[in-house]
Amino acid sequence: MYLVIDIETENLGTDVMKDNKRILSVQIGDNVSQILYWADSKDPKRNLQSAKKDILSLLSEGVIFTGYNIKGFDTIFLAKFLGIVLPESNLLDLNHPQKLAELTSIRKPRLEEICLACGIDVRHKQRMNERAQKYAVKEEFKKAASAKANELVKEKGWSLDFAYRYSLDKICLGNAIYYAYIEFIDSDEPKNTLFYEYAIGDVIVEYALLKKMRY
């Protein structure tokens, strides 16, 4: 049995690996049913410790957890922040070069790109990206992106323009996700929030991608 496992993290910086402060949410499911656990949940059945307990239970049942770049991102922070080590035998990473080559000519596609190539609806990501763009005019974010861009030019040899746009995009998306999460935990109807749509949306599209890859 395959289930998608996905996480959202608090990352307001430019490095997707080094700047994460904590896990905001863990979401598990398939195309029919999804469960969201979150860091500030007042429901003990939906907090991150409950997520850990349920993940371990699913592992004991032989569930195979899948996701896009699950080995390069999700498993790393599940281990770091929750102390959960997912065995290799219980993992299927959809970021598989051979399978991806059968679906798109894009080299190293992002999840959004491979889904669009397969005709999978990613409006949840587009909505979050649109929100992120609204942060791009904030002077504090532009200043932080400029400072980071100068570092990246020296470290990676990138052009200043590319390094700036890269840094600003990362900062804005991280802040968009984080503040959407704050709205989610403060909402009387959390399932109607952008954060819920975004988090659960990834589970749904990754499961659809799993089926496109004919697993």
Task: Give the CATH number for residue 162.
Answer: 3.30.420
User: Structurally, how many domains does the chain consist of?
Assistant: 1
pLDDT of residue 64: 98
Q: What letter represents residue 49's amino acid?
A: Q
pLDDT of residue 215: 81
Residues 96-137: tens digit of each pLDDT? 999 999 999 998 899 999 999 999 999 999 999 999 999 999
Alpha carbon distance 100, 108 (integer Å): 8
Q: Work out the pLDDT band at 2, boundaries 50, 70, 90.
A: very high
User: Model's pTM, two decimal places?
Assistant: 0.94
Q: Report the residue count for the chain.
A: 215
Give phi and psi for 6, each to the nearest 5. -145, 150
Alpha carbon distance 95, 49 (integer Å): 28
Which range marks the domain in which residue 75 is found? 2-212
